Structure 1
Amino acid sequence: MRIGILTGGGDVPGLNPCIRSITLTADDLGWEVTGFRRGWQGFLEIDPDDSASIANGSLPLTREGVRGIDRMGGTILHTSRTDPRTVEGGDRTGQVLKVLDALGIDAMVTLGGDGTLRFSAHLAAQGVPVISVPKTMDNDVFGTDYCIGFSTAVSRSVEAINALRTTIESHERIGVIELFGRRSGETALLAGFLAQVDRTIIAEAPADLDVLLPLLAEDKASNPANYAVCVISEGASIAGRKEDDADLSRSATQRDDRGIGQQLGREIEERLGSGTVIQELAYLMRAGEPDAMDRMVGFAFGGLAVQLLQRGEKARMVTLSDGNYAHVPIDTLLHGTKSVDVTGLYDRSTYRAKLMRVEGMPMFLY
């Protein structure tokens, strides 16, 4: 049995522990493992008749070769956001199938977010045995409670928010800290709650400045240190302003306008007359080694993926559901969207997280 592994989409801490787990579990079974570089893009760059391109786009993964990678952030396989169906020149699914056949790959384990796993489901529909592993620091893959990278992103954010308090307080300003989260505000919600910031703006609930700004002014005035802190999701919006979905889908460097954190900061300065500290945490949220949670889930997801293949399962996505490891059909993520339960977890009127329910909820996953 020869299995292939790839990582696609944005890098997150926890991918390397998962790669190591897959490799070791497969090695215990006597299986061979091939890693594909640069996600699905790597497949498009491989010429099966050219050994040099094969060596450039793939590498054998061995027990010795993955030693110690669990302590590293990012992904040793590197990554891309390529979907072979939407590249210039048309659908390249056939090229992916050709490479798999030429290299003798019997099954694929794919680690990615929504985009990577959508193509994984497409490939499974073509008859390729595929097990997908959800990863994204936004934690927004439908069908699982948890995605690799979420815990570390929250931990990094809380550390940064609390560190920034020293500057915000020293200058007696209002801090606006923007976190990644284009479609889901879960990372901002949890980080804001754990850091106990004054207000948190999430992607699912537009901010009414006539309500929010007076609250921030009161937060600052009532604080003996005369400062306030607000966390805002990258994908948040200001009520009454039309958002450009096409612009939001672009990376931060490709957008035409200021980020939402900069927009809010400008409104605070103009309407409240208060100085601000504006900070986009951006890639720092996904930088560095994984925390204990993402190492644990990475190891567990990787082991489960191989176990499923061992017993003949295919076209499945590994998941965490109510605190238990499980798996669902690989196309589950196509049938819904995952976002913050605003009614249960967020108070729109105060822009704060709320704990409406605790009993019976799984640890950490709210």
Structure 2
Amino acid sequence: MRLGILTGGGDVPGLNPCIKAVVRRATELGWEVLGFRRGWAGPMSYNPDDPEGSEKHLMRLNNDAVRTIDRKGGTILHTTRTDPQWMVEEKLPDFLKGKFKPSEKGTVDTTPHILRVFEHLGIDVMVTIGGDGTLNYAAQLDREGMKIVSIPKTMDNDVFGTDYCIGFSTAVTRSVDAISALRTSTGSHERIAVVELFGRNSGETALISSYLADADRAIIAEVPFNAEKLAALVAADRMENPARYAMVVISEGAMMEGGEAQTYGQADEYGRKRLGGIGHLLGEELTRLTGVDTITQSLAYLMRAGAPDALDQMVAKGFGTLAVQEIAAGRTGFMTAVRDGNYTTVPASTCASGGKRVDVASFYDAEAYRPRIAEVKGKPMFLY
């Protein structure tokens, strides 16, 4: 048996422990594991007609190669946001240019080449670790007849079908530490702090981080906010604090009422612009409306920098172990998941069958702009 493995999308803490768990379990069974570098760009860039020149896109994985990787953050396989179904011609490797018919949108689908690469390399099962984009494409390969196993990771915790994704706990831990640390400067200057966290469509990271850090207000991606109303609340929070400061947390995908998400920079080849800047915009508005200076801080990649915490180590290794155990039992075409506190599996296509967002009624006070846990009994230990 030969397994392929790759990591796609944004990096998160816990990817390396997951890779290690897959390799160790597979090695115990006498299987080989072949890593593809840089997400889906790895198999797309591999040329079966030039195996020697394409070796740079592979990483041969064994126990020696993964012995210490779980002590580090990120991914030894590296990662990209490449989507083989939606490639523009100029982004293709030279040997693939002109070989696919463009769609009406001007993109090409390189799936036939991806499948050819897997066949050439003798990949029996492909293990893909990623978020929505990576796993949606894995589900497409499953429909094409390739045996795949999906493992969900994203610090937004927004992959549909699982209660938990690798990387979420560490992102929350980093955020809580940063919010708490920023109280020092904010209080010293008697200001208002606005802390922007990652969270494109789901505000779960901002919600849980603000809840644990006991921030005064939290703005999540799911609920548009009224700047004047928020300013009045935050001004009152500041005056009620003997140290005369207030803390506000906001998701990068949050929007003012009647507005739209803040983006910057050029769109990528898939038409996506980077989200960001809503924290700075809110800070300016709060200063204008309250007359109080603000400190604005985007945590951005610091949320997912460094080694994983204990929970992400645990889930990453659990998912990796579960993946190999199920493959050994002859099962593929699934995504590993946590549901109701238990490890389980769901069909690989589940991630594309819905969206995972904050349950506003259960976890958020949309009038007060702050977390509100309506009922603890019956909820999972970590609420999410």
TM-score bin, normalised by smaller chain: over 0.9
When the two structures are superposed, what TM-score results if normalisation uses the length of structure 2? 0.92
Alignment-derived partner of residue 128 in structure 1: 146
CA drift at 1:258: 6.6
Equivalent position SS for 2:40: helix
On the 8 A contact 2:264/2:276 being kept in 1, the answer is: no
What amino acid is the match of 1:346? Y
Alignment-derived partner of residue 311 in structure 2: 293
Equivalent position SS for 1:65: helix
CA drift at 1:314: 1.1
Alignment-derived partner of residue 346 in structure 1: 364
Equivalent position SS for 2:128: strand
Equivalent position SS for 2:33: strand
Q: C-alpha distance in 2, partners of 1:238/1:151? A: 28
Q: C-alpha distance in 1, partners of 2:201/2:344? A: 25
Q: C-alpha distance in 1, partners of 2:302/2:87? A: 29
Alignment-derived partner of residue 102 in structure 1: 120
Q: Which runs of 5+ in 1 are unaligned?
A: none
Q: C-alpha distance in 2, partners of 1:235/1:216? A: 20
Which residue of the other structure, out of 370, 375, 381, is the alignment partner of 1:357? 375
On the 8 A contact 1:199/1:351 being kept in 2, the answer is: yes
CA drift at 1:250: 6.6
- In structure 2, the CA distance between the partners of 1:258 and 1:292, relative to structure 1 (3 Å rule), is closer
Which residue of the other structure, out of 198, 213, 220, is the alignment partner of 1:180? 198
Alignment-derived partner of residue 74 in structure 1: 74
Q: C-alpha distance in 1, partners of 2:213/2:132? A: 28
Does residue 192 of the first structure (1) align with residue 217 of the second (2)? Answer: no
CA drift at 1:363: 1.2
Equivalent position SS for 2:116: helix
Does residue 165 of the first structure (1) align with residue 174 of the second (2)? Answer: no
Q: C-alpha distance in 1, partners of 2:274/2:112? A: 36
CA drift at 1:26: 0.3
Q: Show the 5 A alignment for 1:150-161.
A: 150-161=168-179
CA drift at 1:351: 0.8
When the two structures are superposed, what TM-score results if normalisation uses the length of structure 1? 0.96
Does residue 209 of the first structure (1) align with residue 227 of the second (2)? Answer: yes
Alignment-derived partner of residue 16 in structure 1: 16
- In structure 2, the CA distance between the partners of 1:85 and 1:250, relative to structure 1 (3 Å rule), is closer
Alignment-derived partner of residue 87 in structure 1: 87
CA drift at 1:242: 4.0
Alignment-derived partner of residue 160 in structure 2: 142
What amino acid is the match of 1:187? T
CA drift at 1:49: 2.3
What amino acid is the match of 1:2? R
Q: Deviations over 1:160-187 (max 9, x none)?
A: 1111110111111000000000100000
- In structure 2, the CA distance between the partners of 1:247 and 1:169, relative to structure 1 (3 Å rule), is same
Q: C-alpha distance in 2, partners of 1:238/1:354? A: 21
Q: Show the 5 A alignment for 1:240-279.
A: 240-243=258-261, 259-279=277-297
On the 8 A contact 1:131/1:317 being kept in 2, the answer is: yes
Equivalent position SS for 2:150: strand
State the aligned residue count: 364
Which residue of the other structure, out of 293, 298, 309, is the alignment partner of 1:280? 298
Aligned-residue RMSD, C-alpha: 1.8
Q: C-alpha distance in 2, partners of 1:100/1:141? A: 26
What amino acid is the match of 2:357? S
- In structure 2, the CA distance between the partners of 1:77 and 1:279, relative to structure 1 (3 Å rule), is same
Q: C-alpha distance in 1, partners of 2:136/2:58? A: 22
CA drift at 1:255: 5.4
On the 8 A contact 2:267/2:274 being kept in 1, the answer is: no
What amino acid is the match of 1:197? A
- In structure 2, the CA distance between the partners of 1:17 and 1:352, relative to structure 1 (3 Å rule), is same
CA drift at 1:51: 2.8
Comparing 53-62 and 31-40, the one that deviates more = 53-62
Comparing 55-64 and 182-191, the one that deviates more = 55-64
Seq. identity, %: 54
Equivalent position SS for 1:182: coil
- In structure 2, the CA distance between the partners of 1:250 and 1:87, relative to structure 1 (3 Å rule), is closer
Q: Which runs of 5+ in 2 are unaligned?
A: 90-107
What amino acid is the match of 2:181? A
CA drift at 1:318: 0.3
Q: C-alpha distance in 2, partners of 1:365/1:228? A: 25
What amino acid is the match of 1:111? I
CA drift at 1:244: 7.2
What amino acid is the match of 1:56? K
Equivalent position SS for 2:64: coil
Q: C-alpha distance in 2, partners of 1:301/1:104? A: 24
Equivalent position SS for 1:64: helix
Q: C-alpha distance in 1, partners of 2:84/2:274? A: 27
CA drift at 1:319: 0.1
Alignment-derived partner of residue 26 in structure 1: 26
Q: C-alpha distance in 2, partners of 1:120/1:289? A: 27
Q: C-alpha distance in 1, partners of 2:24/2:275? A: 46
Q: Deviations over 1:131-167 (max 9, x none)?
A: 0000000000000000000000000000011111101
Comparing 193-202 and 46-55, the one that deviates more = 46-55
